[in-house]
């Protein structure tokens, strides 16, 4: 099966710092691909480039085999950030924002927003002010907002890093369910979560892919020494 | 009777009896300051959006200049505009000097740095992640600007309010460009100045209370609206 979204030899430099160094990864429809790595390894930068929110210094991003520019990437993907940011309005308006921009008819917006909120156990929250919710609930709204768009690629950056187990479980379930119709690229340093959710795991270290594979082999029999140390919790940045 | 007490009583009398001259002076003050402020908004808000949300060479210098001009002395500005608008000046052909329009032009120039600086600050205080969020949800550049403007709405209102208050309470521009002509360009501040010079302290105080009353009422109304909306 050919990848749905592909990064080919992506390099990103900020002044003299190389955040990504010829990174090539692929994500397939129906799968969760998790990029793991210590803080500062380049996970967020990679996701932002795939989301069309940042540009690479070199390399290409392909959607279904065709090269895509940042504008095309933004219409084909959406991203959930580690720190959930809410528009200062109701939960419904937050979830409906992207749909309104896409010109979706209002009756359909209503249905899709309800369905997205149900996917994160937030039925009945439509009229609540988004910024008055708890951080866990806000992250679930952020997830619903991304799900409602029904884009081909869902990029999720450390979505449960600051959440309690109950909220984290709901987010994880939503990620798993959403992968049925999308290519999901998750960034995480939570290894048990990567193991639970992923069909493919990529280890990014200092801006380079040092190992990748199916969770079974990646976690039980890593080939790269740095991956071994990372799994054992002993890898320093 | 003490002039202040006399002034308060006279102010109440002037308001309650609907003194036509006082009302026309107050109305003209409101008119020129409101139009001058709105006119300044037409270029100041877009300028603030550009300064807050776009990157370009000279941005910091421009911001510094607008900040520096907040405190420009009104008589100095009045003088420069007088030279521009006087018959011998480059804009003398339009015969604007000593008309309400001249005061409007002067006040719009006066409040431009206030609106630009305060509005830029309000827009810059919006969480930059909101723009990133809007973009990942498919918003165009213009739509992301709208998101930021919406978030900064009350900050922008306060910037406009501060500008209006400055225009409404200034004397130099109104005096130098309007000339304090009775029934034509006399506004509250020039009338207060004139009555004080004439020695009619009670009337000056009465007019100053009307000036203060309007400024404070507007500020209170804006604050109430802001609290209600939140």
> Is a pLDDT exceeding 70 seen at residue B53?
yes
> How crowded is residue A21: how many other Cβ atoms within 10 Å of its Cβ?
17
Q: In A126-213, which residue ranges form alpha helices assigned H by DSSP?
A: 135-148, 165-178, 191-197
Select from B132, B138, B151 the Cβ nearest to the Cβ of A101.
Answer: B138
B125 lies within 8 A of chain A by CB: no
pTM of the model: 0.87
In tens, the pLDDT along A126-173 reads 999 999 999 999 999 999 999 999 999 999 999 998 899 999 999 999
Residues of B in contact with A83 (CB under 8 A): 129
CB of B44 closer than 8 Å to CB of B119: yes
Dihedral (CA of A96, A100, A102, A107) sign = positive
Model ipTM value: 0.89
- Among A130, A123, A117, which Cα is nearest to A89's? A130
In tens, the pLDDT along B33-48 reads 999 999 999 999 999 9
- Among B154, B164, B216, which Cα is nearest to B37's? B164
Contact: A74, B136; criterion CB under 8 Å: yes
Indicate the SS3 state at residue A63. strand
Contact: A101, B133; criterion CB under 8 Å: no
Contact: A81, B130; criterion CB under 8 Å: no
Which one of 2.40.50.180, 1.10.3720.10, 3.40.50.300, 1.10.630.10 gives the CATH number of domain B3-225?
A: 1.10.3720.10
Residue spans per domain, chain B: 3-225
In tens, the pLDDT along B157-206 reads 999 999 999 999 999 999 999 999 999 999 999 999 999 999 888 788 88
Separation of CA A215 from chain center? 18
In tens, the pLDDT along A41-60 reads 999 999 999 999 999 999 99
> Is a pLDDT exceeding 70 seen at residue A234?
yes
For chain A, domains (ranges, CATH) are 5-85+152-231 (3.40.50.300)
Nearest-Cα residue of chain A relative to residue B141: A71
* Environment class of B80 (CB within 10 Å of its CB; exposed 0-12, middle 13-18, buried 19+): middle
Count of helix runs (H) and strand runs (E) in chain A:
9, 10
Test the A interface: residue of B125, B128, B132, B137 with most A CBs within 10 Å: B137
B6 lies within 8 A of chain A by CB: no
Pairing of strands A200-205, A31-36: parallel
């Amino acid at each position: 099966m050919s990848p749905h979204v592909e990064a080919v030899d992506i390099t990103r430099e900020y002044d003299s710092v190389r955040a990504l160094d010829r990174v090539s990864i692929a994500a397939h429809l129906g799968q969760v691909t998790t990029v793991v790595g210590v803080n500062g390894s380049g996970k967020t930068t990679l996701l932002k480039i795939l989301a069309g929110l940042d540009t690479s210094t070199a390399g290409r991003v392909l959607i279904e085999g065709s090269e895509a520019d940042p504008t095309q990437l933004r219409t084909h993907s959406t991203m959930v950030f580690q720190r959930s940011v809410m528009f200062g309005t109701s939960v419904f308006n937050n979830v409906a924002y992207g749909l309104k921009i896409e010109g979706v008819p209002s009756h359909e917006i209503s249905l899709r927003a309800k369905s997205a909120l149900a996917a994160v156990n937030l039925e009945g929250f439509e009229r609540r002010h988004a910024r008055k919710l708890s951080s866990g609930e806000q992250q679930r709204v952020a997830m619903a907002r991304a799900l409602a768009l029904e884009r081909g690629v869902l990029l999720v950056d450390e979505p449960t890093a600051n959440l309690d187990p109950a909220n984290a479980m709901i987010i994880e379930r939503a990620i798993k369910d959403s992968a049925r119709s999308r290519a999901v690229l998750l960034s995480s340093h939570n290894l048990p979560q990567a193991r639970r959710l992923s069909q493919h795991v990529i280890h990014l270290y200092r801006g380079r892919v040092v190992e990748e594979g199916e969770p079974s082999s990646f976690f039980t029999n890593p080939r790269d020494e740095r991956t071994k140390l990372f799994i054992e919790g002993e890898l320093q940045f | 009777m003490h002039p202040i007490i006399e002034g308060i009583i006279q102010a109440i009398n002037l308001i309650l009896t609907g003194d036509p001259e006082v009302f026309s002076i107050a109305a003209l003050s409101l008119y020129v300051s409101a139009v001058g402020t709105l006119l300044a908004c037409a270029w100041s808000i877009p300028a603030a959006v550009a300064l807050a949300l776009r990157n370009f060479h000279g941005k910091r210098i421009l911001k510094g200049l607008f900040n520096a001009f907040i405190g420009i002395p009104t008589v100095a500005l009045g003088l420069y505009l007088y030279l521009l608008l006087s018959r011998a000046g480059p804009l003398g052909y339009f015969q604007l000097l000593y008309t309400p329009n001249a005061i409007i032009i002067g006040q719009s120039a006066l409040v431009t740095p206030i609106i630009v600086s305060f509005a830029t600050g309000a827009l810059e205080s919006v969480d930059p992640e909101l723009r990133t969020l809007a973009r990942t949800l498919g918003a165009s550049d213009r739509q992301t600007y709208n998101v930021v403007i919406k978030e900064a709405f009350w900050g922008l209102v306060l910037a406009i309010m501060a500008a209006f208050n400055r225009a409404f309470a200034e004397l130099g521009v109104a005096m130098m460009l309007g000339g304090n002509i009775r029934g034509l360009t006399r506004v509250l501040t020039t009338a207060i100045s004139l009555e004080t010079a004439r020695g009619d302290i009670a009337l000056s105080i009465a007019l100053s209370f009307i000036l203060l009353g309007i400024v404070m009422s507007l500020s209170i109304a804006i604050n109430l609206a802001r609290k209600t909306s939140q």
